[in-house]
Amino acid sequence: MKKGMIYIYSGEGHGKSPAALGRALQTACKGEDVVIIRFLRGRGLADTEFVKRLEPEIKIFRFEKSVENFANLSQERKEEEIFNIKNGLNFAKKVMNTNECSLLILDEVLELLDNRIISVVELKNLLLCKPEEMDIIMTGATSNEEVCGLADEVTRIETMRFKVFE
């Protein structure tokens, strides 16, 4: 039996979620199941016909109801979304407790820390539910030392632009 790892894909640029999705596809190609839970994202990916064709190997969930950016919501709507986000975190715990997949992706979960929706201690307690053989990927811009200490491996993704022609 393989030992599962905790990975962080962090950085300010683009590419964290696509990298995690690439890992999801690799895992599904091996006949293993993947669960992706998206946080602080618009509906986008989860509502497409393409994603439905990936099931049952790859399942994508989103618990928030709003399509607006969390920072732009009224305080009342933020409270509603925080309740929905906490349901998503509880679902992640259920996925781990039932060992439902071999790869669990918590997309943009690190942004929950930046928005003070959860604390590092709460994230750590969630990760304690991880089965021995399950891999977990967490994405988001935040990668402070305390957060990085929760992972076995941290990948920093950086967007660089070069002018090729002048």
Structure tokens at 11: 């950085």
Q: Return the pLDDT at 10.
A: 93
Beta-bridge partner residues of 106: 37, 138
Q: Hey, CA dihedral for 113, 136, 50, 61, is it positive or negative? A: negative
Would you call 7 helix, strand, or coil by DSSP?
strand
Q: How far is CA 64 from CA 77, 85, 87, 106, in A?
A: 11, 6, 9, 14
Starting at the edge strand found earlier in the chain, the sheet holding 103-107 runs 58-62, 34-38, 103-107, 135-140, 6-10, 153-156
**Cβ contact 81:87 at 8 Å:** no
Condensed to tens digits (0 to 9), the pLDDT of residues 78-128 reads 899 999 999 999 999 999 999 999 999 999 999 999 889 999 999 999 999
Condensed to tens digits (0 to 9), the pLDDT of residues 19-32 reads 999 999 999 999 99
Condensed to tens digits (0 to 9), the pLDDT of residues 152-164 reads 999 998 888 777 7
The domain ranges of the chain are 6-156
Q: Return the pLDDT at 43.
A: 56
**Cβ contact 62:38 at 8 Å:** yes
Burial of 148 (0-12, 13-18, 19+ CB in 10 A): middle
Q: Return the pLDDT at 166.
A: 64
Condensed to tens digits (0 to 9), the pLDDT of residues 34-84 reads 999 999 876 555 556 776 777 788 999 988 888 777 878 889 998 999 999
Q: Is the pLDDT of residue 165 over 80?
A: no
The DSSP-derived string for 83-99 is: HHHHHHHHHHHHHHHTT
Return the percentage of the chain with pLDDT > 90, whole number. 61
Q: Return the pLDDT at 159.
A: 81
Could you say which architecture CATH assigns to the domain 6-156?
3-Layer(aba) Sandwich (3.40)
Structure tokens at 101: 């997949």
pTM for the structure as a whole: 0.90
